[in-house]
Amino acid sequence: MEFRGTGIGQGVAVGPVVRMAERLPEPVDRPSHLDPAREEERARASVSVVADDLQRKGAQAGGAAQDVLEAQAMMAEDPTLMDDVVKRLADGKTAERAVFEAFAAFRDLLSSMGGYMGERAADLDDVSQRVVAHLLKVPAPGVPNPGHRFVLVARDLAPADTALLDLTQVLGLVTIDGGPTSHTAILAREKSIVAIVGAADATALADGDTVIVDAENDLVVQGPDADAVAAAKERIAERAARAAAPITPGALADGTSVPLLANLGSADGAANAVELGAEGVGLFRTEFLFLDADRAPSVREQQEQYTRMLSAFPGRKVVVRVLDAGADKPLSFLNDAEEENPALGLRGIRALRHAEVILREQLTALAAADAATDADLWVMAPMIATVDETRYFTDLCRELGLKTAGVMVETPSAALIADRVLGVADFASIGTNDLTQYTMAADRLLGTVANLQDPWAPAVLRLVAEVGAAGGRLGKPVGICGEAAADPLLAVVLVGLGATTLSMSPSALADVRASLARYTREDAERIARAALAAEGAAEAKQAAKQAAESAPTPTGTTVP
Amino acid sequence: MVERTVRVGSSHGLHARPAKLFTQAAASSGASVTIAKAGGAPVNAASILAVIAQGIDHGDEVTVVVDGGDEQRVLDELVELLSTDHDE
């Protein structure tokens, strides 16, 4: 049997199923033999114990899990909820039943709202179960510990469970409910747990079944034959070998260099990026310095931050994007006007040009940090649509002493006149997320048009090709700094279209490095042509896969 | 009593993390705080469930009312929290 769900990441796992303990039975609705005040005391005591417990687990877990657990702790002690509990106690209910009903009422409300709010309903259910378990003096449902490694199958994991999963025991996890934005998915991604979420038919799995969890192909296989298990184990070993492989500079099979860079949002991630083999930074976002501020940070404050980050990359390239803000990411000192279409409004270079002093200060701080460190600093401007904007930015950079000034290509306009833009700019870096949004005219924050937000769309690839060709003719570097570069096969296509560097979140570096090493430049160009000629995004991906499979295997490398 | 209307900055609206940050700040402010969606009834801003149940999305306008304590400062802080994008 095979079950479909949504795979998180690229991993594979094989092992025996252990199902998560079933939920507590619903507390019986019978009159309490205690008076309401006494029941209220019991309820308050239990929610407070559960809240403290969740707080403590949050502190243990840290990271994104801590936020979720703290939110749950607040739900446990929520004043509106307690009002509702007290009202139900006044009717003579037991504390167990009143707590259960009050949580269930909120749960139903959240479920009926759907989307993000609906997925929070599971958090609330978990808190309810914990409080009721405490009132009944029984253990709270939680992650099982069978004493061997296992694949955990659960309806949906509560954040408290995911955060405390013992990774040495859990081979993978499968949830029956929950979507790609559920906490299970978010935390699985953060902790690199092989996971399939929302596999509705996985209710058929029983304790002890052997399963293959194939996140790359969105598939759970129940009772696989020996060949399938062997193939899965081979893929697991290959992936482990890739992660453990000595870190070499990014390159194609024929030796063509494709530097692999990191996307960073603050100086904190620099050490981790270097460890994972980042050869520099392809996108350093600077918004973190400006958000949560009601004025722009001083030149000195900025200079300190930039110096700290540049110091982590001596002798390496670091591409810094100047402040990217607009009505969709409002900053009171830059642009807080309300706009009908913020994505099409006064943002990026347009906003900075309106408030030139902010741009001047940022470039001044960057130039000073550059002078104080050995990194190779490049700066670029977001949201460029015209040659005039390009010239404005590069002139200002030169005036303030910055050596290398380029542009982000996020608008179809910049891509279509890339030859003229690159006549002025020193380099281009393609932001595939925004380029896709603007090419497909589909809001990237809107779930209802998410199907259009696919960088495999041939129209997007064609614009990338336009920029790649212009860069090639003029001898100017063309980087990619969107999520597209983190997809191992799409990365090959992008290089085939003329990208000279790829920048991604550091966790994707190993897979992309291994993928590039399998193809020559000629292969990459052929694979790219196949994708470009396709009708749509799905067809382009399929065509690229087929073209890639027919590529001869270079000696000395393994093919998964 | 002071009040202000603000547009919510978080890309996914006031769900888990942004709602938690806002509710924590409201609960620890020492003032009585309510939040209301345009056209809706005000709810206790210190109640994370009441806040989440409003279903406040990115770009929605909400009105915050602060009563008691250092109300102007509390209002400034809460408005700033609401207009920041915590999902970035």
pLDDT of residue A445: 62
CB contacts, 8 Å: B46 with chain A: 79
Asked if residues A253 and A557 have their Cβ atoms less than 8 Å apart, the reply is yes
First to last CA, chain A: 24
Distance CA B54, CA A357 (A): 40
Sign of CA dihedral A478, A484, A490, A492: positive
Beta carbons of A80 and B13 less than 8 Å apart: no
Q: pLDDT tens for residues A30-89?
A: 998 899 999 999 999 999 999 998 898 888 777 777 888 888 899 999 999 999 999 999
Closest approach of chain B CAs to the CA of A471, in angstroms? 31
Selected residue with higher pLDDT from A300 and B18: A300
Q: pLDDT tens for residues A91-142?
A: 999 999 999 999 999 888 888 877 666 667 778 888 999 999 999 888 777 7
Residue A330 in contact with partner chain B when CB distance is under 8 A: yes
> Average pLDDT, whole number, for chain A?
88
Q: Which domain holds residue B31?
A: 2-83
Asked if residues A7 and A186 have their Cβ atoms less than 8 Å apart, the reply is no
Domain assignment present for residue B88? The answer is: no
pLDDT of residue A555: 46
Residue B4 in contact with partner chain A when CB distance is under 8 A: no
The CB density around residue A551, as the number of other CB atoms within 10 Å, is 18
Mean pLDDT of A267-288: 88
Q: pLDDT tens for residues A388-442?
A: 999 999 999 999 999 999 999 999 999 999 999 999 999 999 999 899 999 999 8
Q: Which residue has the tokens 């929302």?
A: A198
φ, ψ (nearest 5 deg) of residue A260: -105, 120
- Whether B15 is a known active-site residue: answer yes
pLDDT band for position A166 (50/70/90)? confident
Beta carbons of B9 and A116 less than 8 Å apart: no
Q: What is the CATH number of the domain that holds B15?
A: 3.30.1340.10
Residues of A marked active site are found at 183, 481
Closest approach of chain B CAs to the CA of A329, in angstroms? 7
pLDDT of residue A409: 98
**Where does residue A247 rank: exposed (0-12), middle (13-18), buried (19+ CB within 10 A)?**
middle
Residue A524 in contact with partner chain B when CB distance is under 8 A: no
Distance CA A503, CA A319 (A): 10
Q: pLDDT tens for residues B11-33?
A: 777 877 788 889 999 998 889 99
Distance CA A273, CA A276 (A): 5
pLDDT at A295 over 80: no
Domain count, chain B: 1
Domain assignment present for residue B59? The answer is: yes
State percent of chain A over pLDDT 90.
Answer: 54
Distance CA A377, CA B62 (A): 42
Distance CA A115, CA A147 (A): 37
Q: Strand runs (DSSP E) across A313-397, as ranges?
A: 317-321, 376-381
pLDDT at A479 over 70: yes
Residue A77 in contact with partner chain B when CB distance is under 8 A: no
Which of B7, B27, B53 has its CB closest to that of A110?
B53
Distance CA B13, CA A65 (A): 19
Tokens representing residue A18 in the block? 């252990």
- Residue type present at position A417: I
Domain assignment present for residue B63? The answer is: yes
Beta carbons of B49 and A67 less than 8 Å apart: no
Closest approach of chain B CAs to the CA of A331, in angstroms? 8
Beta carbons of B48 and A338 less than 8 Å apart: no
Distance CA A229, CA A210 (A): 9
Q: Collapsing DSSP states into helix, strand and coil, what is residue A99?
A: helix
Beta carbons of A445 and B80 less than 8 Å apart: no
> Average pLDDT, whole number, for chain B?
87
Domains of chain A, each with CATH number or no CATH: 22-136 (1.10.274.10), 150-232 (3.50.30.10), 259-409 (3.20.20.60), 427-499+507-550 (3.20.20.60)
pLDDT band for position A156 (50/70/90)? confident
Domain assignment present for residue B12? The answer is: yes
Tell which residue, B88, B53, B83, has the closest CA to residue A105. Answer: B53
Distance CA A491, CA A494 (A): 5
Distance CA A192, CA A190 (A): 6
Distance CA A316, CA A263 (A): 14
Residue B24 in contact with partner chain A when CB distance is under 8 A: yes
Selected residue with higher pLDDT from A212 and A505: A212
